[in-house]
Amino acid sequence: MSHDKKKKGSSSETNASVNNISVTNRQLNVRPFQSNVNRTEIASGWEKWLRNIERQFRHFGIADPEMKKDGLIIDSGQTIADLEDTLLDATGDQAGEDAYAQLIIMLIRHFLPKKNKDFARFQFGNLKENHDESLVRYYTRIRKIAKKCSFSNESEAIRDHLIKTMTNNVVRIKAIRKNWTLDQILEEAELDEEFRTKLKRWRRK
Protein backbone atom coordinates (compact mmCIF):
# COMPACT_ATOMS: atom_id res chain seq x y z
CA MET A 1 0.00 0.00 0.00
CA SER A 2 2.75 2.40 0.97
CA HIS A 3 4.60 1.38 -2.17
CA ASP A 4 1.57 2.38 -4.28
CA LYS A 5 1.40 5.73 -2.53
CA LYS A 6 5.06 6.32 -3.26
CA LYS A 7 4.47 5.48 -6.91
CA LYS A 8 1.51 7.85 -7.08
CA GLY A 9 3.50 10.55 -5.35
CA SER A 10 6.39 10.04 -7.71
CA SER A 11 4.03 10.13 -10.68
CA SER A 12 2.40 13.39 -9.58
CA GLU A 13 5.82 14.93 -8.99
CA THR A 14 6.88 13.87 -12.48
CA ASN A 15 3.71 15.35 -13.99
CA ALA A 16 4.25 18.58 -12.12
CA SER A 17 7.82 18.67 -13.37
CA VAL A 18 6.67 18.12 -16.95
CA ASN A 19 4.05 20.84 -16.60
CA ASN A 20 6.64 23.26 -15.30
CA ILE A 21 8.92 22.48 -18.22
CA SER A 22 6.12 23.00 -20.73
CA VAL A 23 5.31 26.37 -19.20
CA THR A 24 8.83 27.68 -18.78
CA ASN A 25 10.14 26.42 -22.13
CA ARG A 26 7.55 28.10 -24.33
CA GLN A 27 9.14 28.47 -27.74
CA LEU A 28 7.79 31.22 -29.93
CA ASN A 29 7.78 30.34 -33.61
CA VAL A 30 8.78 33.77 -34.91
CA ARG A 31 11.28 34.65 -37.60
CA PRO A 32 13.51 37.69 -37.03
CA PHE A 33 12.02 40.90 -38.37
CA GLN A 34 13.46 41.88 -41.75
CA SER A 35 14.26 45.59 -41.84
CA ASN A 36 16.60 45.61 -44.86
CA VAL A 37 13.81 46.47 -47.33
CA ASN A 38 12.28 49.70 -48.61
CA ARG A 39 10.22 51.95 -46.34
CA THR A 40 6.83 50.84 -47.66
CA GLU A 41 7.64 47.17 -47.24
CA ILE A 42 9.04 47.79 -43.76
CA ALA A 43 5.76 49.38 -42.61
CA SER A 44 3.67 46.53 -44.00
CA GLY A 45 6.09 43.87 -42.77
CA TRP A 46 6.23 45.35 -39.28
CA GLU A 47 2.45 45.29 -38.90
CA LYS A 48 2.29 41.63 -39.96
CA TRP A 49 5.24 40.66 -37.76
CA LEU A 50 3.75 42.40 -34.71
CA ARG A 51 0.35 40.75 -35.22
CA ASN A 52 2.06 37.36 -35.44
CA ILE A 53 4.09 37.65 -32.25
CA GLU A 54 1.17 39.09 -30.27
CA ARG A 55 -0.97 36.18 -31.47
CA GLN A 56 1.66 33.81 -30.11
CA PHE A 57 1.84 35.68 -26.81
CA ARG A 58 -1.90 35.10 -26.43
CA HIS A 59 -1.63 31.46 -27.49
CA PHE A 60 1.09 30.68 -24.95
CA GLY A 61 -0.57 32.74 -22.22
CA ILE A 62 2.30 35.20 -21.95
CA ALA A 63 0.83 38.32 -20.35
CA ASP A 64 3.60 39.73 -18.17
CA PRO A 65 4.84 42.99 -19.80
CA GLU A 66 8.52 42.31 -19.03
CA MET A 67 8.31 38.77 -20.45
CA LYS A 68 6.58 40.05 -23.59
CA LYS A 69 9.17 42.78 -24.01
CA ASP A 70 12.08 40.35 -23.61
CA GLY A 71 10.42 37.80 -25.90
CA LEU A 72 9.90 40.39 -28.62
CA ILE A 73 13.49 41.65 -28.41
CA ILE A 74 14.99 38.14 -28.37
CA ASP A 75 12.91 36.80 -31.26
CA SER A 76 12.91 39.91 -33.44
CA GLY A 77 16.63 39.98 -34.14
CA GLN A 78 19.41 42.50 -33.67
CA THR A 79 17.61 45.41 -35.35
CA ILE A 80 14.94 45.66 -32.65
CA ALA A 81 17.49 45.10 -29.89
CA ASP A 82 19.54 48.02 -31.20
CA LEU A 83 16.45 50.23 -31.49
CA GLU A 84 15.41 49.39 -27.94
CA ASP A 85 18.80 50.60 -26.71
CA THR A 86 18.84 53.81 -28.72
CA LEU A 87 15.25 55.04 -29.07
CA LEU A 88 13.33 54.01 -25.96
CA ASP A 89 12.51 57.10 -23.93
CA ALA A 90 9.66 56.95 -21.41
CA THR A 91 8.40 60.47 -21.92
CA GLY A 92 5.31 62.02 -23.45
CA ASP A 93 2.85 59.41 -24.70
CA GLN A 94 5.00 56.58 -23.32
CA ALA A 95 5.03 57.82 -19.73
CA GLY A 96 2.94 55.66 -17.43
CA GLU A 97 2.83 52.69 -19.82
CA ASP A 98 4.22 49.27 -18.93
CA ALA A 99 7.56 48.11 -20.34
CA TYR A 100 6.06 46.25 -23.30
CA ALA A 101 3.69 49.07 -24.25
CA GLN A 102 6.56 51.57 -24.10
CA LEU A 103 8.61 49.44 -26.48
CA ILE A 104 5.70 48.97 -28.90
CA ILE A 105 4.91 52.70 -28.95
CA MET A 106 8.53 53.45 -29.76
CA LEU A 107 8.66 50.84 -32.53
CA ILE A 108 5.37 51.99 -34.07
CA ARG A 109 6.72 55.53 -34.19
CA HIS A 110 9.87 54.28 -35.85
CA PHE A 111 8.39 51.90 -38.42
CA LEU A 112 5.06 53.64 -39.07
CA PRO A 113 5.87 57.36 -38.85
CA LYS A 114 3.12 58.33 -41.27
CA LYS A 115 0.48 55.96 -39.94
CA ASN A 116 -0.81 58.11 -37.11
CA LYS A 117 -4.10 56.23 -37.07
CA ASP A 118 -2.40 52.94 -36.16
CA PHE A 119 -0.42 54.54 -33.37
CA ALA A 120 -3.47 56.39 -32.04
CA ARG A 121 -5.58 53.23 -32.02
CA PHE A 122 -2.87 51.41 -30.09
CA GLN A 123 -2.91 54.22 -27.52
CA PHE A 124 -6.71 54.22 -27.46
CA GLY A 125 -6.88 50.50 -26.77
CA ASN A 126 -4.50 50.81 -23.83
CA LEU A 127 -6.22 53.72 -22.08
CA LYS A 128 -7.43 52.98 -18.55
CA GLU A 129 -9.20 55.10 -15.97
CA ASN A 130 -6.82 56.25 -13.25
CA HIS A 131 -7.56 55.82 -9.56
CA ASP A 132 -9.76 58.67 -8.28
CA GLU A 133 -10.17 60.03 -11.83
CA SER A 134 -13.72 61.10 -12.63
CA LEU A 135 -15.36 59.42 -15.59
CA VAL A 136 -15.90 62.79 -17.25
CA ARG A 137 -12.20 63.60 -17.01
CA TYR A 138 -11.34 60.12 -18.27
CA TYR A 139 -13.74 60.64 -21.18
CA THR A 140 -11.87 63.84 -22.06
CA ARG A 141 -8.61 61.89 -22.32
CA ILE A 142 -10.23 59.20 -24.44
CA ARG A 143 -11.86 61.70 -26.79
CA LYS A 144 -8.52 63.44 -27.38
CA ILE A 145 -6.95 60.21 -28.62
CA ALA A 146 -10.10 59.04 -30.42
CA LYS A 147 -10.01 62.06 -32.71
CA LYS A 148 -6.77 60.72 -34.19
CA CYS A 149 -8.14 57.20 -34.75
CA SER A 150 -10.44 57.81 -37.74
CA PHE A 151 -13.20 55.66 -36.27
CA SER A 152 -16.27 55.29 -38.47
CA ASN A 153 -18.37 55.95 -35.36
CA GLU A 154 -16.27 57.82 -32.81
CA SER A 155 -18.98 58.12 -30.13
CA GLU A 156 -19.70 54.40 -30.26
CA ALA A 157 -16.00 53.53 -30.02
CA ILE A 158 -15.59 55.81 -27.00
CA ARG A 159 -18.77 54.42 -25.41
CA ASP A 160 -17.59 50.83 -25.80
CA HIS A 161 -14.15 51.62 -24.39
CA LEU A 162 -15.63 53.50 -21.44
CA ILE A 163 -17.86 50.56 -20.57
CA LYS A 164 -14.93 48.18 -20.85
CA THR A 165 -12.46 50.18 -18.75
CA MET A 166 -14.44 52.36 -16.32
CA THR A 167 -13.95 51.67 -12.62
CA ASN A 168 -17.56 52.49 -11.68
CA ASN A 169 -19.27 49.09 -11.85
CA VAL A 170 -22.67 50.53 -10.95
CA VAL A 171 -22.73 52.75 -14.03
CA ARG A 172 -21.18 50.00 -16.16
CA ILE A 173 -23.94 47.50 -15.34
CA LYS A 174 -26.68 50.07 -15.94
CA ALA A 175 -25.12 51.09 -19.26
CA ILE A 176 -24.98 47.49 -20.47
CA ARG A 177 -28.47 46.52 -19.29
CA LYS A 178 -30.14 49.64 -20.64
CA ASN A 179 -27.95 50.00 -23.73
CA TRP A 180 -27.18 53.62 -22.89
CA THR A 181 -25.67 56.08 -25.31
CA LEU A 182 -22.41 57.85 -24.54
CA ASP A 183 -24.26 60.95 -23.34
CA GLN A 184 -26.44 58.88 -21.00
CA ILE A 185 -23.39 57.18 -19.51
CA LEU A 186 -21.66 60.50 -18.88
CA GLU A 187 -24.80 62.02 -17.37
CA GLU A 188 -25.32 59.06 -15.03
CA ALA A 189 -21.64 59.00 -14.07
CA GLU A 190 -21.71 62.69 -13.21
CA LEU A 191 -24.79 62.23 -11.01
CA ASP A 192 -23.29 59.17 -9.33
CA GLU A 193 -19.98 60.89 -8.63
CA GLU A 194 -21.78 63.95 -7.28
CA PHE A 195 -23.80 61.72 -4.95
CA ARG A 196 -20.67 59.93 -3.73
CA THR A 197 -18.95 63.25 -3.03
CA LYS A 198 -21.92 64.49 -0.98
CA LEU A 199 -22.05 61.18 0.89
CA LYS A 200 -18.38 61.48 1.85
CA ARG A 201 -18.95 65.00 3.15
CA TRP A 202 -21.98 63.87 5.15
CA ARG A 203 -20.02 61.03 6.76
CA ARG A 204 -17.28 63.42 7.85
CA LYS A 205 -19.76 65.52 9.84
pLDDT in tens, 29-65: 778 887 666 665 777 788 888 889 999 999 889 989 9
Please state the domain count of the chain. Answer: 2
Q: Of all helices (H) and strands (E), which one includes residue 186?
A: helix 182-204
Residue 7 lies in a domain: no
User: What is the per-residue pLDDT across 160-192, written as a single tens digit (0 to 9) for each?
Assistant: 999 999 998 989 999 999 999 999 999 998 888
Q: For residues 69 and 158, what is the distance between their CA atoms, to the nearest angstrom?
A: 28
Residue 105 lies in a domain: yes
- Collapsing DSSP to helix, strand or coil, 133 comes out as coil
99 band by pLDDT with thresholds 50, 70 and 90: confident
Q: What are phi and psi of 89, to 5 degrees?
A: -145, 105
The boundaries of the domain holding residue 65 are: 39-114
Per-residue confidence (pLDDT) for residue 107, from 0 to 100? 84
Chosen domain end from 64, 97, 114? 114
Per-residue confidence (pLDDT) for residue 163, from 0 to 100? 94
Q: Average model confidence (pLDDT) for the chain? A: 78
Q: For residues 137 and 135, what is the distance between their CA atoms, to the nearest angstrom?
A: 5
Quickly count: other Cβ atoms within 10 Å of residue 46's Cβ.
22
User: Cβ-count burial of 163 within 10 angstroms (0-12 exposed, 13-18 middle, 19+ buried)?
Assistant: middle
Who has greater pLDDT, 87 or 176? 176
Chosen domain end from 61, 81, 114? 114
